[in-house]
Every structure is written in C-alpha cells, then in structure tokens.
Chain A
Amino acid sequence: MSETGPPPRAIPRESLASRLIQAVAGLLDRPMAWIQRAVGGRGMAYVFLAPNILFFGLFVFLPIGINMAMSLTGGTNLFLSERPFVGTDHYRSLMQCGSYLDPASCREDHFWKGVSNTLKFTLFQMVAMVGTALVTALVLNRKIRGRGFFRAVYFFPVLLSPVVVALIWKWILQRDGLLNGAITLVGGEKILFFVEPGWAMFWAVFVSVWAHMGFYTLILLAGLQAIPADLYEAAEMDGTKPMRVLTRITLPLLWPNLVVVLVLVLIKAVQTFDEVFVLTGGGPGTATLMVVQYIYETAFANQVQNFGLAAAASMLLGAVLFALTMLQLWIARRKAA
C-alpha cells in the first residue's frame, strides 16, 4: 500500500434527485435495522425472499393443496368445510375401465376419450411442430432475400392470444368461411371441417402449429446460428454433399436444441385447451375433446358441478406434467454439464 495516496477529493455537491432518493431510502433504515436485529443476518435472506414466497404460496402452492383436498372430498359444495371426505373414490372411478384401450368401456368415458385425444394430438402436433419449425429455421438461416421480414412474419402469431388465433381460423374454416368460399369459387364442394372428426383433429393440430411454431423456430434458429461458419467451409472443402452436411453436421450440432424444443412442445401439447376449445368446442361429438377440457367441463360447465372428480383428474394430469418437467430439467442440466 502506498502511504501517500492522492488527497481525498472534495465530495461533489449532491444533486436534488440523489438527496431525495436518499431521504426516501433513509425512511427504511430504521425498520430494516430493527428487523435485522430481530431475525439475525442469515434470517434477512428470508425476509427478502418473503414477498415471492408469499406470492407463490398464495397463488400456486395453496391452490394445489386445495385442489388435492377437493379431489379427496365429494358433493357439489364449493367450501371444503361442507364437503364430505370420500378418500380415493374419485381416483378409483377415474381409473375404472373395462379396457384402457377402449374409452367407451370406462366409467368416465369422456376422461379417457380426452386422454386418448390428447395423446393423438400430442403425437401429431410434436411431429408437425418440430418438423415445420426445423424446416423454417433451416430456410431462414440461409442468406435469402427478405430474411428479416420472414423472421418477423413467422414470429407474429406467437404474440397473438390463442383465443384470437382460434377465432380467426374458425372464421376461415367454418361452413361458409373463407376457405369454403374459395373452394366453391374454383368449383369444388364445401367441406364441413368441423363435422368430420378427421378434419377437426387435423385443423386443431394445424392451428396450434401455426400459432406456436414461430417460438420454436426462434430457438432452433438461435441454435443454427451458434454453429460456427467455418465448419461449413471445412465441410465444403471436404467435398460434402448438402444432404450429408445436414445429417452429419447441422443436425448433430443442433441436437441439444432440438431436444429442448421437443420436450417444450410435448409439455405444452399435453395442456392444450383454449385454441382447440374455441376452434372445435371439442367436437364433433368428443372427437377433439382434450383432458383439460374434460376437467373444465366436469367442474364448471356440466349440470352437476363435480369439483372432486375434476380435481382428481387435474391431479393426475399434474403428475404427468411433473414427470415431463423433471425430464426437461434433467436434459437441460445434462446439456449444461
């Protein structure tokens, strides 16, 4: 240490703003000191965390707890104190099936129809979503004209509310909608998209891909841009055909991002509700009824509001989501390592 440092500089006159801030912050000094004396230095960490813990507790953990209690009680009353304890009755009736492969043989046939539809939807949607997002990202990663414009265009639907997206597409696809208008214009016959179960499922998948693809495209695009350009030049010097560049260099190096996208798509697809509900209402019949819609209808939309059964179904769905989230975290952590 040098003994003769520069002389202490004159402290500049404080500005009004900084003095004001100090005055306000100063108001907190006393209570803070008092709290710290009460809880100790380590305890202060929890004091600062308290607002968040409170928020999460109130709006996340408490509802989960109430839901759990709901699933174990019966009746149509909303207040827990007025609901009789029924144990695992709801779970048992949900699981009561002649054959799990045939929803019609189940006591809660709509629940199992929902499970089966959700599985189908998830499978189709994952393939379609990841496929289109990958192709779009690969195209947008090339030096094409208007690249910035297209990147924005593909991302815009993500910013729209799912309900708005579904309403727009409903308007296009309904009996006298835009698409049927176009079909009749070229001399074709109207197709009743929401009356044919196959078409309804197709459009449910299509619309959700249309609405969310931009987000996943963006993740994949970021992954593609992280691949160093000189690897492609080295591949070019090595005389690699374009298809081989894709399969041997681009895809292996993009793989970590692809896995992340796959899992995210999976987690979202399992929870699908709003778009499909607004678009098809779960129909025709129960052809596009998803698990979440079943929960919603059982609890709120049916004549008899069976909160207990709905709560039990959502506990089961929650368990699946928990497992998927663990998978996602495990993958993310393995990627970081």
Chain B
Amino acid sequence: MAGLVLKGIAKSFGPVEVLRGIDLEVANGEFVVFVGPSGCGKSTLLRVIAGLEEVTSGTILIDGQDVTAERAAERGLAMVFQSYALYPHMSVYRNIAFALENMRLPREEIEARVRRAATMLRLTDYLDRKPGALSGGQRQRVAIGRAVVRDPKIFLFDEPLSNLDAELRVATRKELAGLHAEIGGTMIYVTHDQVEAMTLANRIVVLNKGRIEQVGTPLELYNRPANLFVAGFIGSPRMNLISGRVGPDGHFEMPGGALAQSGPFLPAGLAPGAEITLGIRPEHVLPAGGEAPDAILTVDLVEQLGSESYLYGTLPGGAALTLRSPLEDPARRGESLPVRFERHRLHVFDAAGLALRP
C-alpha cells in the first residue's frame, strides 16, 4: 500500500497531446476513480502510472520515491485489464500464482496466498480450469485475484466491469467495494460509468481532454461542481443548464422572458447584466403545487421508471428542462406544468463556465 503523487504529467503520441499537465495526490489506502468522456485520456493516465507508457514530461512518486524512469515490473503495482488479459494456456491457479513464481517465493507460501485469494473471490472450485472455460464474471474475479495475491503497492483497474452484463456489474461493484474495505489497498479505478464512480470512490477525478476538471468526493462533485463540464458530466439525467443573463432585482433573464416573477430569484451578489448559465438538477425542479410557480413547463415526454418519473419539457424561451417527480403520473405529454426551482440548489456559472459562488 502506498500513496501516489503525480506532478505535471504530460503525454503525447507524436503530435497528439493526450495528457496535458496532470497534478494529483492520492493518499495511502484511498479509492480514487478517474471518470471522463471517451478518449479523454483515462486509460493513458492509468498506463502511465503503471509504467506501461512513458511520460513525455512530469514526475511520478510512489511512497515518496521517484519512479518515473522505472519500468512497470519494478514499480510493484498490479493492474486489472479491461480484457482481463488472463494467460489462456495456464490454469486459474497458475494464472494467479504466476507473479508470485516470478518473485521466487517458496512453494508453500505461493500455495497459501493463492488459496487465500481464491477463497476470498470464490474461485476455489475453478482453480484447475483454463480461463476459456470460465464465465465473464469468473474471469473477472481471476483477474482481480491475480492482482490481489501480489499484495501490490497500488491496484490499477481499467474499466474492469465493462464486459459484464448489468446485473453482474452491480454485484461485482459491491464485491470491489467489499474488497477495498477488507484489504484497504490504494486503488485507482478508471470508468466512464458514473454510478460506479459515485458508489466506489473516496474521491473522483474528472478528466476532460487530458486535463483534470475537478477532484473531490462524490458528493462534492455532485453538490458543488466547479465548472460547466463537471456539472454536465456528473449526475444522471444530467443537470439542466440554461443560458441567459442576470436581470435587475436578481431575476434570471432568458430569451423567453424572466424566470420567477415574485421576489429575487438568483443568489445575491451577481452583477446585473452579466452573462451566466443557470444550472439545476432534475431532482431539484418540483411541480409548483399550490405555490407561486417560477416557470411554466410544456411537457414533451414522460418517462416512467416505476418508482419515479422524468418529465422532459420546454420553457417558454425554448430552453429544455428535465425534472424528476416522485409521482407515478405527474403530467401528460403536451400539458403545461407550473414548476418551482429549489433556490438553495441553484448553480450559477460565469461566461467562462466557472462556478460562481457568491
């Protein structure tokens, strides 16, 4: 187990800049998840940490030691590949034992460690099988077992669940959380599934175009996104984002008119006339009920999920708005629905896309 420090990591493949100055500190025992859209450089960053890819510039410290020039084999990290990368000609036992044999550990110790990992991962019945004769979920557990036995300084996972079906993914996610609680290793985990990110992470790193957009606990990112990108990326369905400007008396003016006719709407302290983007999550837009509405929504589509429903509609100026309703049948298509915004849940972003926190 060890901490990790990245200083100014940059990586280019020829003329293509994939990572552009990544600074990050991961504490010992922390579970950190990298999320970001496809092609943003998550895998590349993980491979750079692993030593499978050389940095173009920057420094990598593991436990305070500079390992930038070290090869993957010397860094003492373990990686679980998206493809699992199990050795097809070796039994499950040999697959798990392979790294230990490389370390020239005594036979009894190897055997003991493999058995312990196999028990933990419920693989004892399959130790003699070849990977080809295992299900996807079992292969996945072998891949994790191969990492666990080595007692590595840091565990690296590259989308380990993406080849599993939805149900197995949820089950394995829980197992991974349990594994982290049990062995407490430092874990770095790449995914583009934000449910995985939210549920597994101690901290989430949001990457975009080779840069870190924000680092924080899942709730920090959810409640206080630092910029428009994070606001739009974290949360599903995504946050409603409406562009407009600050009106007089703290109203929000958008092309179709002002939001909320009664009382000041926006948080105090915004310069009147400033171009802003207003953000509000679907769960923080409520049917107005008896209270004075902030806007009238024309409902375009209703999605019923059973426990709740999502309404997709349009505001008078043409801006799209999604809201979540706990009611099974809150409105019909084409209806006009008066809605209210939870004031303390409003997010405001300036013209550059940065969050304004007055």
Contact residues of A with B, CB < 8 Å?
228, 230-231, 233-241, 244, 248-249, 252-253
Contact = CB atoms under 8 A, between A and B. Distances in A.
A239 B102 contact: yes
B184 to A, nearest CB: 21
A252 B87 CA distance: 10
A231 B103 contact: no
A249 B95 CA distance: 11
B87 to A, nearest CB: 6
B344 interface: no
B301 interface: no
B81 A230 contact: yes
22 contacts: A228-B83, A228-B85, A230-B83, A230-B85, A233-B85, A234-B85, A234-B87, A236-B51, A236-B52, A236-B73, A237-B52, A237-B72, A237-B78, A238-B98, A238-B102, A238-B150, A239-B76, A239-B99, A239-B103, A241-B102, A252-B89, A253-B88
Contacts of B72: 233, 236-237
Contacts of A238: 73, 98-99, 102, 146, 150
A230 to B, nearest CB: 4
Contacts of A249: 87
B266 interface: no
B296 interface: no
Given A230-B81, A244-B102, A237 B87 contact: no
A228 B87 CA distance: 10
Contact of A231 (B51, B79, B87, B102): B87
B102 A237 contact: no
Contacts of B278: none
B144 to A, nearest CB: 13
Query: Chain B interface residue count: which class?
Result: 20 to 34
Nearest to A234: B85
A237 B73 CA distance: 5
A102 B85 CA distance: 55
A236 B71 contact: yes
A237 B98 contact: no
Given A236-B52, A237-B73, A237-B77, 7 more contacts: A231-B85, A233-B79, A234-B86, A238-B102, A239-B73, A240-B73, A253-B88
Interface string B62-86: 0000000001111011110101011
A272 B102 CA distance: 45
A253 B73 contact: no
B50 interface: yes
Given A240-B73, A252-B89, A234 B79 contact: yes
B79 A237 contact: yes
Majority secondary structure of chain A interface residues (helix, strand, loop or mixed): helix
B246 to A, nearest CB: 52
A8 B51 CA distance: 64
Nearest to A239: B73
B175 to A, nearest CB: 21
Most buried by B among A238, A244, A252: A238
A240 to B, nearest CB: 5
Interface in B132-156: 146, 150
Nearest to A244: B102
A230 B86 CA distance: 9
A253 B86 CA distance: 13
Nearest to B100: A238
A235 B74 CA distance: 12
Interface in B3-21: none
Contacts of B103: 239
Most buried by B among A231, A239, A252: A239
A227 to B, nearest CB: 9
Most buried by A among B74, B77, B81: B81
Contacts of A253: 88-89
A183 B73 CA distance: 48
Contacts of A228: 83, 85
Contacts of B73: 236-240
Contacts of B99: 237-240
Contacts of B87: 231, 234-235, 249
What 9 A-B pairs are tightest by C-beta distance, nearest first?
A: A238-B99, A234-B85, A230-B85, A239-B73, A236-B72, A252-B89, A237-B79, A239-B102, A240-B102
Contacts of B50: 237
Given A239-B73, A253-B88, A253-B89, A233 B81 contact: yes
A231 B88 CA distance: 9
Contacts of A234: 79, 81, 85-87, 146
A233 to B, nearest CB: 5
A235 B98 CA distance: 9
Nearest to A241: B102
B290 to A, nearest CB: 53
Most buried by B among A234, A248, A252: A234
A231 B87 CA distance: 7
Contacts of A230: 81, 83, 85
Nearest to B83: A230
A184 to B, nearest CB: 50
B149 to A, nearest CB: 10
A248 B102 CA distance: 11
Contacts of A244: 102
Interface in B94-119: 98-99, 102-103
Contacts of B78: 237
Contacts of B83: 228, 230
B335 to A, nearest CB: 36
A201 B81 CA distance: 52
A249 B89 CA distance: 8
Nearest to A238: B99
Nearest to A227: B88
Contacts of A239: 73-74, 76, 99, 102-103
A90 B72 CA distance: 68
A161 to B, nearest CB: 40
Interface string B45-69: 0000011100000000000000000
A241 B73 CA distance: 9
A307 B52 CA distance: 67
